[in-house]
Amino acid sequence: MSYDEMLAAAKKAVSLAARLSNEVRKSLLVSDVWNKSDDSPVTVADYGSQAVVSIVLERELKNENEPVSLVAEEDSAELRKVAAETVLARITELVKDTLASDESYASSPLSSDDVLTAIDSGKSEGGPKGRHWVLDPIGGTRGFIRGEQYAIGLALLVEGKVVLGVMACPKLPLASTAAGINANKSSPEKVGCLFFGAVGTGAYVQSLNALDSPPVKVEVSSNDDPAKASFFESYHTPVPIHNTIATKLGIKESPIKINSQTKYAALSRGDGEVYLRFTRKARPESIWNHAAGSILVSEAGGKVTDAAGNPLDFSKGKYLDYKRGIVVTTQKLLPRLLKAVRESLKEEEEEEEKAASLKLH
């Protein structure tokens, strides 16, 4: 099967998952949201989206000679802890209704056990060999709950390299503008983007609500003046090094805070020039949070590296092998940005050493 055919299957899976998430979002119930054992929020849409993508990939790729390997965020263990038959029944109905909205799946029976099996098909570990799909079923769950930006990201790894990616951004305006990303003022028909790209072919976007509309090629910003650049970061406890890096680079604007991989999508079409993802403490980064977004930016002419300037390594399993932070930007700004990163990290290290020395005395 060609990458074009696999990309078509991925677009179908992601667009249907987005349809399910939109239905949940229209009437989000208190019982639709709970916290997992790690205290992170999860919703029926996270599980429903994962089940839909799993089922669609299995059916669309059934003529392949190997089973579908899916690396995904959720598993049914957390769902079973809720121990509520009504929750599972709601997820099952959501999945059934979503699949039924596509003519090719309209007559397919589906039980709750089928849905649990589909969710648990995402337990692959990935790795450097073979072919693995990587799914973020609802990226930015907190944003989803608040009615803000979220994304559904699906990518394909082949021999440890990302070769194609699809991302639905149901709340992202079709019009490209950094200022309008979080405005929520666009009319419904002008909101909802489906981004996609495959290695060597470029990145594209089309309306999520009109998939027969012609795709438009996207490219990163041509701006090479940091003073005019916009930079993205996640909603989280402030990370001081972000501001240090931005100041050294010469960025004057305050950061634009966006949930999920939507930041990658926005940067790929030129809504901003820099996305920084550093944390106060070192922690593992799941590959599903970056796989789809990284290839979109790369195919749009941008660069995605770790803090040392190395390409992200998706070949080590469920977690990235990377140095300290993640840097996403344009090719024009990358050298200056990495210089600012190096200087900022060195200053941070010196401050920590000074603080440790004072404690000893």
Residue 313: how many other CB atoms lie within 10 Å: 15
CB 53 within 8 A of CB 154: yes
Which secondary-structure segment (H or E) carries 303?
Answer: strand 302-306
Q: Residue 107 has which token pair?
A: 């007559």
| CA pair distance 241, 40, nearest whole angstrom | 24
Is 136 annotated to bind a ligand? Reply is yes
Domains observed in the chain = 3-218 (3.30.540.10), 226-360 (3.40.190.80)
CB 221 within 8 A of CB 127: no
Note the pTM of the prediction, 2 decimals: 0.95
For residue 179, the model assigns a pLDDT of 55
CB 343 within 8 A of CB 248: yes
Residue 155: how many other CB atoms lie within 10 Å: 29
Angle between helices 85-100 and 44-60 (to 10 degrees): 40
225 vs 78, 249, 357, CA distance in Å?
47, 10, 39
What is the pLDDT tens value at each position of the chain, 361 positions in all? 899 999 999 999 999 999 999 999 999 999 999 998 889 999 999 999 999 999 999 999 987 678 999 999 999 988 887 767 889 999 999 999 999 999 888 777 899 999 999 999 999 999 999 999 999 999 999 999 999 999 999 999 999 999 999 999 999 999 886 655 765 555 666 999 999 999 999 999 999 999 999 999 999 999 999 999 999 999 877 899 999 999 999 999 999 999 999 999 999 999 999 999 998 777 889 999 999 999 999 999 999 999 999 999 999 999 998 888 999 999 999 999 999 999 999 998 898 888 888 877 6
Q: Residue 64 has which token pair?
A: 């392949």
Is 97 annotated to bind a ligand? Reply is no
For residue 226, the model assigns a pLDDT of 94
Per DSSP, the chain holds a count of helices (H) and strands (E) of 10, 14
| CA pair distance 234, 257, nearest whole angstrom | 5
For residue 184, the model assigns a pLDDT of 55
| Catalytic machinery residues | 46, 141
221 vs 293, 311, 333, CA distance in Å?
16, 20, 10
Is 138 annotated to bind a ligand? Reply is yes
